[in-house]
Amino acid sequence: MEPVLETAMRQFHQAADRIELRDEMRELLTSFKTVYQTDFPVNMDNGSTKVFSGYRVHHNSARGPMKGGIRFSSIVSLDEIKALAMWMTWKCAVVNVPFGGAKGGVICDPGTLSSSELQDLTRRFTSEIAPIIGPDRDIPAPDMGTNAQIMAWMMDTYSMEQGYTIPGIVTGKPVAIGGSEGRFEATGRGLLYVLQEHLAAEGGVRDRTVSVQGFGNVGGVAAKLLCEAGARVQYISDVATALHHPEGIDALAAFAHVQAGGTLRTWLDEHPNAAEEVAHEDVLTADVDVLVPAAVESVLTEHNAGDVRAKLIIEGANGPTTSDADAILNERGVMLIPDTLANAGGVTVSYFEWVQARQYLHWSEEQVNAELRRVMTDAYHNVISRCPLNSGGMCTQREAAQWIGVERVVEAIELRGIFP
């Protein structure tokens, strides 16, 4: 399997080749402004002390403060964090929000930690990275394995060390302490808006058959919203269970169960006629109109891309498709809407939350969603303008999004110049 950082670099160089980017700018944009690694102790509930490893990476700050999630996962690695930080740079540029790319993570299994252990780990990690984050420097957000509560602990820890409340230090926090309405559903909702725009001339998403891989904050929300919009979600999966129903799964009920602390396994146990269990690979190779990979990186590879039967892929996860799989899918004529566009709803509403925090304002959910639709729709049409749907395979949407992202970052670098 292609390493995730190699995928990110190959995507960049492919775009750089097409826009004839000069060598010194390539070197700059494949460098990382700050790479911060820390090993820190946490007191465990049994009285022992355990050392955890964490990272925070800044890719590029030419367009503004760094922005990126915090990931708690046993598979976190420095190369993964670097790749995600680079993708975040392009993503922010594609939707034209004034941030650069960052990412962070701690190597841990949050499911094995108690609430008190998770809080202690979060607070200690926040204290460790405090010198390189800040509301004007680097603004963390939730990612895989983290949530609004963890952002609340991060905000409180940073604020206590500064001596006053700083709501703009993180986004994705609870609304009660300065979070934004609509932030929780933002990534899935942004994906829906892009998909609706893409299919507008063909009747929209109603009655489309869909397979969603991953049932967390992105995939679960996307499945729920697609159901509400009239799509027929035939396949869903989480890390342990994959489900199918030819007439469509009640993703609203399944997601409500998961949000209440259950899993797809326990939901199926309670509703045995709601779906049948299938193999996980069936979710990716389902004979559906739309495939939504919304779990982790590198799930579509050279080994299974030839088996994909969906006519359209829209990426909910970061980096779910390797470069080799991209080439196979493009050769087969499978349309793919890339992650740097499709899942940018999260960072877009994070930007709205940051703006609200800095101005001490509170927007309604209707206002947030209306602005999100405007930003995502504009970004989609910018990408399509660079790579028209009838371009005959001359370019892909991923390439077009990369061109836009790289060009906007290069423009900012050239306007600012190099200090001193």
The model's pTM is 0.94
Q: Find the range with the poorest average confidence among 30-44, 324-338, 339-353, 378-392.
A: 378-392
Side-by-side strand order, sheet with 66-73: 34-43, 49-60, 100-107, 66-73, 138-142
Question: Do 332 and 284 share a structural domain?
Answer: yes
Per the CB < 8 A criterion, the answer to whether 341 and 94 are in contact is yes
Question: Do 238 and 124 share a structural domain?
Answer: no
Residue 97 scores a pLDDT above 80 = yes
pLDDT at 2: 75
Question: Do 261 and 233 share a structural domain?
Answer: yes
Question: Do 163 and 191 share a structural domain?
Answer: no
Q: Is residue 310 part of a domain?
A: yes
Q: Token pair of 318, please?
A: 């970061």
pLDDT at 149: 97
Q: Is residue 71 part of a domain?
A: yes
Task: Pick the last residue of a domain from 177, 201, 228.
Answer: 177
Band of the pLDDT at 364, cuts 50, 70, 90?
A: very high
**Token pair 């930690």 in the structure block, residue:** 113
Range of the domain at 244: 186-337
Per the CB < 8 A criterion, the answer to whether 255 and 223 are in contact is yes
Residue 395 scores a pLDDT above 90 = no
Question: Do 235 and 133 share a structural domain?
Answer: no
Q: How many domains does the chain have?
A: 2
What does the pLDDT average to over 64-93? 97
What confidence tens digit (pLDDT) does each residue in 157-180 have? 999 999 999 999 999 999 999 999
CA distance readout (Å), 137 to 169, 243, 359: 9, 43, 17
Give the domain CATH number at 270: 3.40.50.720
What number of other Cβ atoms are within 10 A of residue 123's Cβ?
Answer: 18
- For 394, phi then psi, to 5°, come to -65, -25
pLDDT at 420: 86
Give the largest Cα separation in the chain, rounded: 67
Give the domain CATH number at 147: 3.40.50.10860
Task: Pick the last residue of a domain from 160, 177, 194.
Answer: 177
pLDDT at 1: 62
Per the CB < 8 A criterion, the answer to whether 55 and 78 are in contact is yes
Question: Do 193 and 140 share a structural domain?
Answer: no
In the chain, the percentage of residues whose pLDDT exceeds 90 is: 92
Question: Do 194 and 333 share a structural domain?
Answer: yes
Strands 312-314 and 290-293: parallel
Question: Do 254 and 140 share a structural domain?
Answer: no
Q: Token pair of 166, please?
A: 């700083």
Task: Pick the last residue of a domain from 132, 150, 177.
Answer: 177
Question: Do 120 and 96 share a structural domain?
Answer: yes
Residue 391 scores a pLDDT above 90 = no
pLDDT at 297: 87
Residue 392 scores a pLDDT above 60 = no
What does the pLDDT average to over 111-140? 97
pLDDT at 76: 96
Helices and strands, counts by H and E, the chain: 15, 12
pLDDT at 394: 73
The whole-chain average pLDDT of the chain stands at: 95
Residue 191 scores a pLDDT above 90 = yes
What does the pLDDT average to over 182-198? 96
Residue 247 scores a pLDDT above 80 = yes
* Residues designated catalytic: 103
- For 331, phi then psi, to 5°, come to -65, -35
Question: Do 192 and 146 share a structural domain?
Answer: no
Question: Do 107 and 43 share a structural domain?
Answer: yes
